[in-house]
Chain A
């Protein structure tokens, strides 16, 4: 049985060291916050100018001027702070964010990340993706192993426009946890009931066991 999205999020949460400064990308990575023990001392950074982001507000307590990078209403935890975008991206670019968990369209076996544009597709823009991918100290990718059309997202070489070269450290998909190493993709862990053969057949590059 492959992992569900929630199980992927729970697995990703194990990657977070106590006291880390963590930026969660829009979409799947947002789920990770629900699986962290409160006493882990993790501070969530949101690139629109918030450190110490808390959960979504209770109904009736929403503030349209307190949002995350996905423009969803959020809260701020005790000890949190707000700041301008220049300082916020200085935190990212300056290596002060320990971990960014990002989505992906393609990951190359050399760690290249493509997650902002599909050739010929609608232009969605870049947002903070390039700054996070090149600036955060560690990049964890959370993604489905293949596209909706069944094409591998882990590939020998990205052919989608890059977000940043050689930046991805580890990938968590519904099938496996895979590291990017000097020698390419390397298996860390299989989801329960998933075989190495299945992972290899759905990956567009060699996977070392």
Chain B
């Protein structure tokens, strides 16, 4: 079981979609919401996500394919 921290950024057309709940129902991940800011146009959520490595990778791929940006809550590690 691995634990990752994801910063999800949603485009407007996904705000009303149950994207995060599908991480649980379709990808068997355990999620723990830490912070969020969502309005009608755009939104972000910071999650702690638990699961085995394969499911985490599949969950991330699902989000990215859906149009959600998945990033590290701490920002990029690679700097100038």
A binds B: no
